[in-house]
């Protein structure tokens, strides 16, 4: 026989949080940083814009993503990667599974380029649609750095290079692991006045991430199916039919302890926002965003398989379609893609990852066009780091700089931006085993995106602490050669 639960308020909330009694994690993260108060600067927004970060978690191998195919570069690439018994060099263009040649609008003297054979959709967006750009050799930098300066112990360098957690944090917050605020969240702090409500302005489809957290901005977590809900709020809990009412009472009860008060506030927000979001997603354009087609690997036929990246981006598209209902003019989204730490078995694993990414980016860009928002939404890639040019058997090790894609109707596409490095071991950008010394800082990459998003030039240095170190003249550290969007 079951009985309604009769537990203390503290025990109820403790069990709900620690033992998942209430079901899946709430969509709000416990953010000690956001407990403080700070007034956001007033920035007006007359249109809608969104930034979508595809984070290639684990460290993407840039050398097998965007390839230099001129003879000196290709020979150096093959020499470093065609090491028996497990070569990891891709076949040349024209061979089965060969790389896909691309022709930028503005050629680079003496260089030719190609993409991984699975990046067929990105090739089309780069060459035909001109909605994709390639930003070469991006990575965390304190200031512009030469190979000689890198080797100088007194020259400032990013902390804890080559570490997954720390470099993910450096990309997202410009500080090692433990940082509580990311640049996406801080941008939303600055632009908070653009939105009628901040609840659905900062969205993660992959758990709690620092990039989305600001001083006041709280991230909201979604699954590919929509709002996360507390099980106790929509049914029975251990046989109790009053669990929902009890949970709502406990969540609204004032608390003396700061952390307990914040945890209770999280549950209260979850209860009040999940129904709001479900309603917003169930009507109008948000309810009619089509499901993505299956992903079919390049060179194959058949029904293909479901693409989890595209499924996540479909939910992003639905959130964007519901922007007016939710009172939003600025949103940031974070969509992680795991599996890029390819120390072994790289060729098949990397092909699947890139194929899904390319397919998902094309699907999402098409949905933005269908909503009439192609030039209002910019998608960009980020990653822990690049990888080494040299092989470690049938994979690669942690590197530093890497190449990235930016896609959208506002992108000045079909071009390379930044400086594409010389390929080979022992070059002017090789810090060891072909790991690339970046020539474009993450502050610059992020700063260009933020300026398009609506951040005033005068606020850039506050958001991107290393950007002043890249200033030349009056360019705010963002030279014309990097103006890939806007």
The per-residue DSSP string of 349-376 comes to HHHHHHHHHHHHHHHHHHHHHHTT-TTT
Q: What is the pLDDT of residue 252?
A: 64
Does residue 484 contact residue 452 with C-beta atoms inside 8 Å?
A: no
* Calpha distance 416→220 (Å, rounded): 34
Q: What is the DSSP code (8-state) at residue 211?
A: G
Helix (H, G, I), strand (E, B) or coil at 486: coil
Contact call for residues 396 and 387 (beta carbons, < 8 A):
yes
**DSSP letters for 89-153:** PPPPTTSTT--EEE--SS--TT--EEE-TT-HHHHHHHHTS--EEEEEEEE--SS---HHHHT-T
Which of 140, 68, 133, 110 lies closest to 439, judged by CA?
A: 140
Which pLDDT value is given to residue 265?
Answer: 72
Q: Which residue numbers in the chain have pLDDT < 50?
A: 1-25, 30-40, 232
Look at residue 17 in the predicted model and tell me its pLDDT.
Answer: 43
CA angle 308, 313, 315 (to 5 degrees): 100
E strand or H helix at 202? strand 202-204
pTM of the model: 0.88
Phi-psi region of 477 (alpha: psi -120 to 50; beta: other; left: phi over 0): left
What is the C-alpha to C-alpha distance for residues 458 and 158, in angstroms, rounded to an integer?
A: 24
At residue 272, the pLDDT reads 76
- Spell 55-92 as b/e; 16+ CB within 10 A means b: bbbbbbbbbbbbbbbeeebbebbeebbebeeeebbbee
Find the radius of gyration of the CA atoms of the chain. Answer: 23
- CATH of region 22-221+309-482, choose from 3.40.720, 3.40.50, 1.10.3470, 3.30.70: 3.40.720
Distance of CA 157 to the CA centre of its chain: 23
Domain extents in the chain: 22-221+309-482
**Rounded Cα–Cα distance for residues 31 and 137 (Å):** 33
């Amino acid at each position: 026989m079951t009985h309604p639960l009769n537990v203390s308020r503290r025990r109820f909330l403790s069990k709900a949080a620690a033992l998942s009694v209430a079901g899946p994690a709430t969509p709000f993260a416990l953010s000690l940083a956001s407990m403080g108060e700070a007034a956001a600067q007033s920035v007006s927004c007359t249109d809608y814009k969104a930034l979508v970060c595809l984070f290639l978690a684990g460290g993407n191998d840039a050398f097998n993503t965007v390839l230099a195919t001129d003879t000196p570069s290709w020979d150096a690439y093959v020499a470093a990667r065609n090491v028996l018994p497990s070569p990891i060099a891709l076949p040349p263009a024209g061979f089965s599974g060969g790389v896909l040649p691309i022709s930028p609008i503005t050629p680079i003297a003496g260089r030719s380029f190609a993409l991984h054979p699975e990046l067929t959709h990105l090739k089309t967006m780069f060459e035909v649609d001109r909605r994709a750009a390639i930003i070469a050799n991006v990575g965390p930098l304190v200031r512009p750095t030469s190979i000689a300066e890198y080797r100088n112990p007194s020259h400032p360098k990013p902390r804890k290079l080559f570490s997954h957690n720390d470099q993910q944090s450096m990309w997202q917050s410009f500080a090692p692991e433990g940082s509580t605020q990311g640049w996406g969240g801080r941008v939303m702090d600055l632009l908070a006045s653009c939105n009628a409500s901040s609840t659905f302005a900062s969205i993660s489809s992959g758990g709690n991430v620092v990039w989305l957290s600001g001083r006041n901005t709280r991230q909201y977590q979604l699954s590919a199916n929509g709002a996360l809900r507390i099980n106790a709020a929509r049914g029975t809990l251990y046989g109790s039919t009053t669990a929902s009412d009890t949970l709502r009472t406990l969540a609204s009860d004032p608390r003396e302890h700061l952390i307990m008060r914040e945890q209770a506030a999280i549950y209260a927000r979850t209860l009040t926002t999940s129904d709001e979001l479900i309603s917003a997603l169930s009507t109008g354009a948000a309810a009619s965003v089509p499901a993505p087609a299956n992903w079919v690997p390049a060179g194959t036929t058949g029904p293909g398989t479901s693409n989890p990246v595209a499924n996540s981006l479909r939910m992003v598209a639905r959130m964007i379609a519901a922007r007016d209902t939710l009172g939003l003019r600025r949103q940031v989204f974070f969509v992680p893609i795991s599996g890029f730490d390819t120390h072994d078995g790289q060729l098949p694993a990397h092909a699947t990852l890139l194929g899904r990414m390319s397919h998902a980016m094309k699907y999402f860009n098409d949905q933005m066009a269908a909503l009439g928002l192609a030039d209002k939404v910019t998608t960009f890639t980020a990653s822990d780091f690049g990888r080494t040019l040299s092989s470690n058997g049938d994979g690669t090790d942690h590197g530093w700089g890497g190449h990235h894609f930016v896609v959208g109707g506002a992108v000045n596409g079909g071009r390379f931006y930044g400086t594409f490095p010389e390929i080979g071991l022992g070059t002017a950008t090789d810090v060891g085993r072909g790991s690339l010394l970046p020539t474009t800082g993450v502050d610059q990459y992020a700063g260009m995106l933020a300026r398009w998003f609506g951040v005033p030039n005068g606020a850039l240095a506050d958001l991107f602490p290393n950007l002043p170190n890249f200033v030349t003249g009056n360019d705010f550290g963002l030279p014309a050669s990097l103006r890939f969007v806007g």
